[in-house]
């Protein structure tokens, strides 16, 4: 019974490890995607401010 229990625990540990790896990969992907989205949003905002010649984001500078 002890060997069977050890195998079950090892299997559970391996499954959890795979989930953690997948979660870490997913978080890394989402962090990268968020950074790219923020960069694009900032560039878009700057161009819109230049086009409208208006301060949209409230930083006191238009464009």
User: Taking the complete model, does pTM exceed 0.85, yes or no?
Assistant: no
Cα separation, 39 vs 49, in Å, equals 15
Cα separation, 37 vs 46, in Å, equals 14
pLDDT in tens, 38-50: 999 999 999 999 9
Three-class DSSP category at 60: coil
Average pLDDT over residues 59-63: 78
pLDDT in tens, 6-60: 778 888 888 887 777 788 888 989 999 999 999 999 999 999 999 999 888 788 8
* Half-sphere exposure of residue 40: CA atoms within 13 angstroms, side-chain side: 6
Whether residue 63 contacts residue 46, with contact meaning beta carbons closer than 8 Å, is answered with yes
**pLDDT above 70 for 1:** no
Higher local confidence (pLDDT), 1 or 56: 56
């Amino acid at each position: 019974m002890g060997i069977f229990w050890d195998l079950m625990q090892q299997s559970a540990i391996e499954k959890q490890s795979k989930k953690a790896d997948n979660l870490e990969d997913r978080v890394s992907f989402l962090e990268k995607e968020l950074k790219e989205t923020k960069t694009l949003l900032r560039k878009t905002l700057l161009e819109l401010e230049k086009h409208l010649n208006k301060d949209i984001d409230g930083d006191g500078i238009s464009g």
